[in-house]
């Protein structure tokens, strides 16, 4: 029951009505008997400064930020965690009495998802895409000890800009390529492939995946961060190749669990988040 003592956290985005975070977090609060509630806030572009000021004044404890606020929110924080600073985007904010701090849990979410099936230490990893998600994941991969990272993108120049940014902070080799024969060649000895493009996402389930079974090998870990549909075209190709699949739901779950830990100091059960998410996605 919500009372005057209930602690409020939530998500600000535009749109926000399709967010799956409220049911996941609220189920975990109940499970751990924490007097918290997670609320969606529809904050339109242009209103974020006021909304953040309001959040401070209303004693909100924590926020997630989604499209289009992840970069702009940095202007309204007192401090930004090192990883979020490198990524240049914040998806989680923690409010204490005297400090508002920003974090980015997307990268750690992706790394934890992959590490359910394979350690990324010293592994060769190819990321397809060079947008916001690729940026968050690639910085975290370097910080978590990846051996080699290649960014492959339709617009090769964007992949090379991201690779340059990554090379500035790490001794790990980071390269860039386009979506051509070079990608096929590099995949031969790659350990982990991560798709961060929206290809195959609802309502475009029938899009041809950028990597097909003939380009994969059975020991390859294939992570598609698209989670709607649950089984994307890329994951079906991974099945055909006998490769190891990591669905996009895992990143969504782990990034949320990390935010939950930042706000409450407690680690929720993976199963709680997963059961609720699957129920929502299967509706």
The site for ligand NAP, by CB under 6 A, has a size of 23
The one among 129, 209, 233, 268 contacting ligand NAP by CB under 6 A: 129
The one among 158, 217, 236, 261 contacting ligand NAP by CB under 6 A: 158
Beta bridge partners of 224: 195
Residue 15 found at the interface with ligand NAP (CB under 6 A) = no
**Which residue number, 95 or 141, has a Cβ lying nearer to ligand NAP?**
141
Residue 154 found at the interface with ligand NAP (CB under 6 A) = yes
C-beta separation of 141 from 112 below 8 A: no
Residue 276 found at the interface with ligand NAP (CB under 6 A) = no
Residue 152 found at the interface with ligand NAP (CB under 6 A) = no
Residue 251 found at the interface with ligand NAP (CB under 6 A) = yes
C-beta separation of 249 from 230 below 8 A: yes
Residue 226 found at the interface with ligand NAP (CB under 6 A) = yes
Which residue stretch of 16-24, 72-80, 127-135, 272-280 sits at the interface with ligand NAP (rule: CB under 6 A)?
Answer: 127-135
Q: From residue 130, how far is each of 4, 151, 161, 179 by CA, in Å?
A: 45, 7, 9, 12
Q: How far apart are CA 120 and CA 142, in angstroms?
A: 10
Question: Nearest 5 degrees, angle CA 86-CA 88-CA 94?
Answer: 95
The two structure tokens encoding residue 279: 């129920």
The two structure tokens encoding residue 64: 């997630």
Residue 133 found at the interface with ligand NAP (CB under 6 A) = yes
**Which residue number, 70 or 124, has a Cβ lying nearer to ligand NAP?**
70
C-beta separation of 150 from 125 below 8 A: yes
The one among 89, 126, 141, 225 contacting ligand NAP by CB under 6 A: 225
Closest distance to ligand NAP from the beta carbon of 4 (Å) = 34
Active site residues per annotation: 70
Residue 197 found at the interface with ligand NAP (CB under 6 A) = yes
The two structure tokens encoding residue 56: 């401070």
Q: How far apart are CA 167 and CA 15, in angstroms?
A: 34
The one among 52, 152, 187, 252 contacting ligand NAP by CB under 6 A: 252
Residue 52 found at the interface with ligand NAP (CB under 6 A) = no
Closest distance to ligand NAP from the beta carbon of 111 (Å) = 12
Q: From residue 267, how far is each of 63, 91, 152, 247, 257 by CA, in Å?
A: 17, 18, 34, 22, 7
**Which residue number, 23 or 198, has a Cβ lying nearer to ligand NAP?**
198
Residue 55 found at the interface with ligand NAP (CB under 6 A) = no
Q: In 3D, which of 232, 171, 161 has the Cα closest to residue 196? A: 232
Residue 131 found at the interface with ligand NAP (CB under 6 A) = yes
């Amino acid at each position: 029951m919500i009372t005057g003592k209930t602690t409020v956290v939530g998500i600000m985005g535009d749109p926000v009505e399709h967010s799956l975070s409220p049911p996941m977090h609220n189920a975990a609060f109940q499970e751990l008997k924490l007097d918290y509630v997670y609320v969606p806030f529809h904050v339109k572009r242009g209103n974020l400064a006021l909304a953040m000021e309001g959040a401070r004044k209303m004693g909100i404890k924590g926020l997630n930020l989604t499209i289009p606020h992840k970069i702009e929110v940095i202007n309204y924080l007192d401090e930004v965690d090192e990883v979020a600073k490198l990524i240049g985007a914040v998806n989680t904010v923690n409010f204490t009495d005297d400090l508002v701090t920003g974090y980015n849990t997307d990268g750690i979410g992706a790394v934890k998802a992959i590490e359910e099936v394979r350690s990324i230490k010293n592994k060769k990893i190819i990321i397809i895409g060079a947008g916001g998600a690729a940026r968050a994941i690639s910085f975290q991969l370097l910080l978590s000890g990846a051996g080699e990272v290649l960014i492959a993108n339709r617009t090769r120049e964007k992949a090379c800009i991201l690779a340059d940014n990554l090379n500035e902070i790490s001794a790990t080799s980071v390269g860039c390529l386009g979506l051509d024969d070079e990608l096929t060649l590099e995949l031969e000895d790659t350990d982990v492939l991560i798709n961060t493009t929206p290809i195959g996402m609802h309502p475009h389930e029938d899009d041809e995946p950028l990597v097909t079974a003939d380009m994969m090998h059975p020991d390859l870990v294939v992570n598609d961060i698209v989670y709607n549909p649950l089984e994307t075209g890329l994951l079906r190709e991974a099945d055909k190749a006998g490769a190891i699949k990591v669905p996009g739901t895992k990143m969504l779950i782990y990034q949320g669990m990390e935010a939950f830990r930042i706000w409450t100091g407690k680690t929720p059960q993976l199963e709680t988040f997963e059961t609720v998410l699957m129920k929502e996605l299967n509706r």
